[in-house]
């Protein structure tokens, strides 16, 4: 897998290096087969060695070989106070083990928290007012919740639960407090979030991380100050620096250690890793989870992933690797490829490269060059914004493989009634790479065929403004991959015949 990672550069000297530690997994094996979607998992305090999990509308436990249903039905939703498997719940997105025998569950659609007694299967209302959604603080039967999701123990107040809930209006709190002993509901965080889902607690720093809308929020618990850690309010599928990263509805998060967080995106089939110390995000290079991922948990030193109808256990390899990263003049970040399938720790050697070879998307258009030239600077001022704007649409061609280099200069020329445009990507290689790597071509080939021609349609403001589609080349593609080379030192000019800078 090609993983484009960035790290900040403090110096441009050739011997400068940086340590980037990542959590990586070699394989995912099926730990247990379930009936429905696994929305939450924890180590079972009642049965040592088991995993306690919510299977959509039910609470269940498994040792990896057999599954026992404690309450509810994984395939039937509803509301019923009957005990054990006769009881009915809506979606159970979260739970908290109050003690060995009692579990508090967040009944999403029924808008309340309910308690399950594992000794006899009894189900009771614990907080809020079941089947009455809204926002109101107070005792059980008086307070209201709106779509409660996940819950965690407040490490600074051991009798308080933190509950995330959907915000349906500006008057609804995002994070609620629940007194474990009485079920009384209150408010913890009422601003700065929108749609909080999964949560993870960093006990050493008293920081709560929250999967919120399309980003991960960081809450300094002493002040309840909410900040964006990584991602943006805009959705996307981009890994890299924290400012570049884009996610699609983060659902669950798990801290592996103080540096590494594993992130799931609702129903998608890839895990992402967040390196808090190095401020980079990355895809985790393991087989795709075909049914989609909903939950992730760190249990007894192992990472488990909950999907539809399966719980996976990830096997980890603790391997240290060394990698060279090329620094290009003027850059504030260094990009490099990691073999995340085998390595968890990387010694990154930053080396300055004399040349830069960058992958670009090239398209050709049939147009009257005379008409473009007759417009002079006016024509150039009209054409360049049109071509620049296209880079956003061409990102669909890159997908997970690359990003369009929106801060780099695109190039274009017109001769023999052919307008040639080259849009740069962020795939950059050193002087030893003479051709576009086969792996890159293979990964981009399908999107070039599926999206290329329509995505590259441009508007030309000549005598008669017109929309132009790129020419279809002999290989059937209208957009081609090309490898452009330029010198990294100012004043040097690249000589193609000798492949040198002079």
User: What is the pLDDT confidence band of residue 16, given thresholds at 50, 70 and 90?
Assistant: very low
Task: State residue 1's pLDDT score.
Answer: 27
Task: State residue 6's pLDDT score.
Answer: 33
Under DSSP, the state recorded for 165 is E
Distances 328 to 17, 331, 486, 494 between C-alpha atoms, Å: 15, 6, 11, 15
Span 231-258, average pLDDT: 90
**What gap in Å lies between CA 361 and CA 480, rounded to an integer?**
6
Distances 51 to 3, 56, 295, 316, 454 between C-alpha atoms, Å: 32, 15, 13, 19, 49
Task: State residue 356's pLDDT score.
Answer: 82
- pLDDT, tens digit, 9 for 90 and up, residues 368-381: 777 665 555 556 66
**Considering only CA atoms, which of 377, 385, 369, 482 is closest in space to residue 434?**
482
User: What is the pLDDT confidence band of residue 12, given thresholds at 50, 70 and 90?
Assistant: very low
Cα 207 → chain centroid: 20
Q: Rounded to the nearest 5 degrees, what angle is found at the Cα of 136, between the Cα atoms of 134 and 137?
A: 145
Which has more confidence, 465 or 119? 119
**What gap in Å lies between CA 40 and CA 30, rounded to an integer?**
16
CB 5 within 8 A of CB 336: yes
Which has more confidence, 350 or 23? 350
Query: Strand pairing partners for 96?
Result: 104
Task: State residue 342's pLDDT score.
Answer: 41
The yes-or-no verdict on residue 39 having pLDDT over 60 is: yes
**What gap in Å lies between CA 199 and CA 205, rounded to an integer?**
15
Task: State residue 380's pLDDT score.
Answer: 66
Distances 488 to 65, 104, 353, 415 between C-alpha atoms, Å: 58, 60, 7, 28
Span 426-450, average pLDDT: 82
Which percentage of the chain shows pLDDT scores above 90? 45
Q: Output the six-digit token pair for 437.
A: 């790597």
Cβ-based neighbour number of residue 300 at 10 Å: 8
User: What is the pLDDT confidence band of residue 319, given thresholds at 50, 70 and 90?
Assistant: very low
Which has more confidence, 218 or 350? 218
- pLDDT, tens digit, 9 for 90 and up, residues 469-482: 888 888 778 888 89
User: What is the pLDDT confidence band of residue 278, given thresholds at 50, 70 and 90?
Assistant: confident
The yes-or-no verdict on residue 273 having pLDDT over 60 is: yes
Task: State residue 433's pLDDT score.
Answer: 82
**Considering only CA atoms, which of 178, 220, 219 is closest in space to residue 196?**
219
CB 395 within 8 A of CB 402: no
Cβ-based neighbour number of residue 42 at 10 Å: 19
Could you give phi then psi for residue 488, rounded to 5 degrees? Answer: -90, -20
Cα 336 → chain centroid: 19
- pLDDT, tens digit, 9 for 90 and up, residues 360-371: 989 898 887 776
The yes-or-no verdict on residue 305 having pLDDT over 90 is: yes
The yes-or-no verdict on residue 191 having pLDDT over 70 is: yes
**Considering only CA atoms, which of 412, 345, 348 is closest in space to residue 383?**
412
- pLDDT, tens digit, 9 for 90 and up, residues 112-127: 999 999 999 999 999 9
**What gap in Å lies between CA 25 and CA 205, rounded to an integer?**
26
The yes-or-no verdict on residue 150 having pLDDT over 50 is: yes
Which has more confidence, 211 or 327? 211
User: What is the pLDDT confidence band of residue 314, given thresholds at 50, 70 and 90?
Assistant: confident
CATH number of the domain located at residue range(s) 25-316 in this protein: 2.130.10.10
3 state SS of 94: strand
Cβ-based neighbour number of residue 68 at 10 Å: 11
**What gap in Å lies between CA 311 and CA 252, rounded to an integer?**
14
User: What is the pLDDT confidence band of residue 434, given thresholds at 50, 70 and 90?
Assistant: confident
3 state SS of 450: helix
Domain extent listing, the chain:
25-316, 355-501
- pLDDT, tens digit, 9 for 90 and up, residues 77-97: 999 999 999 999 999 999 999
**Considering only CA atoms, which of 331, 300, 328, 327 is closest in space to residue 316?**
300
Greatest mean pLDDT range, 47-61, 309-323, 422-436, 452-466 = 47-61
Span 33-42, average pLDDT: 95
Which percentage of the chain shows pLDDT scores above 70? 82
The yes-or-no verdict on residue 21 having pLDDT over 50 is: no
Task: State residue 376's pLDDT score.
Answer: 53
CB 352 within 8 A of CB 459: no
**What gap in Å lies between CA 441 and CA 331, rounded to an integer?**
26
3-state percent breakdown (helix, strand, coil) of the chain, nearest 5: 10, 50, 40
The yes-or-no verdict on residue 494 having pLDDT over 60 is: yes
Span 233-237, average pLDDT: 90
Span 178-199, average pLDDT: 93
430: exposed, middle or buried (Cβ count in 10 Å: 0-12, 13-18, 19+): middle
The yes-or-no verdict on residue 17 having pLDDT over 80 is: no
**What gap in Å lies between CA 492 and CA 354, rounded to an integer?**
10
């Amino acid at each position: 897998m090609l993983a484009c990672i960035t790290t900040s550069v403090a110096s441009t000297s050739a011997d400068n290096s940086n340590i980037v530690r990542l959590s990586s997994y070699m394989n995912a094996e099926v730990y247990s087969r379930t009936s429905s979607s696994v929305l939450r998992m924890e180590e079972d305090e009642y049965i040592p060695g088991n995993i306690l999990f919510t299977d959509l509308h039910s609470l269940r436990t498994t040792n990896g070989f057999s599954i026992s249903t404690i309450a509810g039905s994984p395939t039937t939703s509803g509301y019923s106070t009957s005990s054990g498997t006769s009881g009915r719940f809506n979606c159970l997105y979260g739970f908290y083990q109050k003690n060995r025998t009692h579990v508090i569950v967040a009944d999403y659609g029924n808008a309340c928290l309910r308690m399950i007694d594992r000794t006899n299967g009894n189900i009771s209302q614990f907080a809020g007012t079941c089947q009455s959604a809204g926002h109101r603080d107070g005792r059980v039967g008086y307070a209201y919740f709106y779509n409660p999701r996940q819950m965690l123990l407040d490490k600074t107040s051991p009798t308080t639960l933190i509950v995330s809930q959907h915000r349906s209006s500006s008057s609804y709190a995002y994070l609620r407090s629940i007194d474990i002993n009485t079920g009384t509901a209150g408010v913890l965080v009422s601003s700065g979030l929108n749609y909080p889902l999964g949560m993870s607690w960093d006990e050493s720093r008293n920081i709560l991380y929250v999967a919120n809308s399309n980003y991960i929020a960081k809450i300094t618990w002493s002040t309840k100050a909410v900040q964006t850690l990584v991602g943006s309010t805009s959705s996307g599928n981009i890994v890299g620096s924290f400012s570049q990263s884009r996610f699609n509805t983060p659902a669950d998060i798990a801290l592996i250690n103080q540096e590494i967080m594993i992130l799931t995106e609702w129903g998608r089939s890839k895990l992402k890793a967040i390196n808090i110390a190095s401020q980079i995000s990355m895809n985790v290079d393991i087989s795709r989870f075909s049914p989609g991922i909903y939950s992730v948990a760190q249990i007894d030193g192992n990472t488990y992933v909950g999907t539809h109808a399966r719980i996976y256990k990830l096997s980890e390899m603790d391997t240290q690797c060394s990698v060279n990263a090329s620094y290009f003049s003027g850059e504030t970040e260094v990009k490099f490829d990691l073999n995340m399938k085998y390595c968890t720790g990387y010694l990154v050697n930053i080396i300055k490269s004399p040349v830069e070879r960058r992958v670009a998307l090239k398209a050709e258009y049939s147009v009257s060059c005379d008409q473009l030239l007759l417009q002079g600077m006016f024509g150039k001022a009209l054409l360049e914004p049109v071509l620049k704007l296209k880079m956003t649409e061409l990102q669909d061609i890159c997908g997970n493989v690359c990003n369009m280099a929106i801060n780099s200069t695109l190039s274009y020329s017109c001769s023999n009634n052919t307008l040639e445009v080259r849009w740069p990507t962020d795939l950059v290689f050193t002087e030893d790479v003479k051709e576009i790597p086969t792996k890159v071509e293979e990964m981009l080939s399908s999107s070039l065929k599926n999206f290329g021609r329509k995505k590259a349609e441009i508007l030309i403001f000549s005598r008669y403004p017109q929309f132009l589609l790129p020419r279809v080349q002999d290989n059937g593609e209208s957009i081609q991959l090309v490898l452009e080379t330029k010198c990294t030192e100012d004043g040097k000019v690249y000589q193609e015949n000798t492949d040198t800078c002079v």
